[in-house]
Amino acid sequence: MDLAVWEWVCALISDPARVLAGYREAQANLDERHALLRAQIESAEALDAEHSARLDSLIEARAMARADAVKQALDARIDETGRLIDDLTRKRVDLAARLAEETITDATIDAALDEIAAVQEELEDITRADDFTTKRRLIDALNIRATLRITEAGERWADIHWCLKAYSVCCDKTDTPRRRRAAPPPAARRAGSRGQAVQAAHCSRRARAQSRASHRAAGNAVLRL
C-alpha cells in the first residue's frame, strides 16, 4: 500500500465527524440517484409490457396468416419485437443491479464508525509496524478504493474513491534538503593555512623594516641640529 494513500486514510479515520458527514452526504446523493434508477426501471417495465402484448398479437396473426408474403412480414416484425424485449430485459437487470449495489445503510455507517473507533488510538503503531492486515481491514470497512495513474511527466498519483467522490494524492513526495556549501578537502585547507602564515610573516618583516628606517631618519635629523 502506498504511503500517500495510507496517510490520507489516517487523516480520514482521525476525524470521525468527517466520516459521518461523508456518509450522510453520500446517502442523500444515492437517494436522488436511486429515484432516477427506479424511474428508468419503471419505464423499461412499461415498454416491456407494451412490446410483449404486441408480440402476442403478432404471433397470433402469424398463426392465422396464409400468404407467404404476410408470413414473412410478420416474422420480421416478430423478430424485431423480440429483440426489443430482450434489450429491455437486459436494461432492467442492469438497472436493478446498480440499485442493489449502490447502497449505504445506517448499519453500514455504524459498522464503519465502530471499526475506526476501535483502532483510532493505535494508528501510529499500525503505521510504524506497517500492519498490512489491519490497514486492509480498515480500508475495506470504509469501502475505499484507490487506483494508481502515471502522468505524462512521470509522476505517480493515486485516485482515492470514497463515498461517491474521488480524491487525488501525489505518491511521489520528495523533500529536497537545503544544499550545504561543500567544505574544501584537507589538502586545500592546509595549503590555505600555509599561505596565510607566509603572508602574515611577510607583512611583519615589512613593518619592522619600515620602523628601522624611521629610526635612522630621526637620528640624522638630530645630528644636523
Q: Mind listing the pLDDT tens digit of every residue in the chain (225 residues)?
A: 688 999 999 999 999 999 999 999 999 999 999 999 999 999 999 999 999 999 999 999 999 999 999 999 999 999 999 999 999 999 999 999 988 887 899 999 999 999 989 888 888 888 888 888 989 999 998 999 999 999 999 999 999 999 999 999 999 864 433 333 333 344 444 444 444 544 544 455 555 555 555 544 444 433 333
Same domain, 89 and 135: yes
Instruction: Decide if 146 is inside a domain.
Output: yes
Same domain, 132 and 210: no
Q: Which residue has 446523493 as its cell numbers?
A: 29
pLDDT at residue 37, rounded to an integer: 94
pLDDT at residue 176, rounded to an integer: 36
pLDDT at residue 212, rounded to an integer: 52
pLDDT at residue 172, rounded to an integer: 85
Same domain, 143 and 89: yes
Q: How many CB atoms lie within 10 A of CB 112?
A: 22
CATH of the domain at 30: 1.10.287.1490
Same domain, 74 and 111: yes
Report how many domains make up the chain. Answer: 2
Q: How many CB atoms lie within 10 A of CB 117?
A: 11
Same domain, 151 and 196: no
Same domain, 163 and 202: no
Contacts of 120 (CB under 8 A, 6+ apart): 13, 14, 16
Q: How many CB atoms lie within 10 A of CB 10?
A: 17
Same domain, 32 and 130: yes
| Structural domain of 117 | 3-170
pLDDT at residue 220, rounded to an integer: 41
Instruction: Decide if 94 is inside a domain.
Output: yes
For residues 122 and 2, what is the distance between their CA atoms, to the nearest angstrom? 19
For residues 117 and 20, what is the distance between their CA atoms, to the nearest angstrom? 12
Same domain, 133 and 218: no
For 52, the enclosing helix (H) or strand (E) is helix 16-64
Q: Are 58 and 81 in contact (CB under 8 A)?
A: yes
- Give SS3 for 157: strand
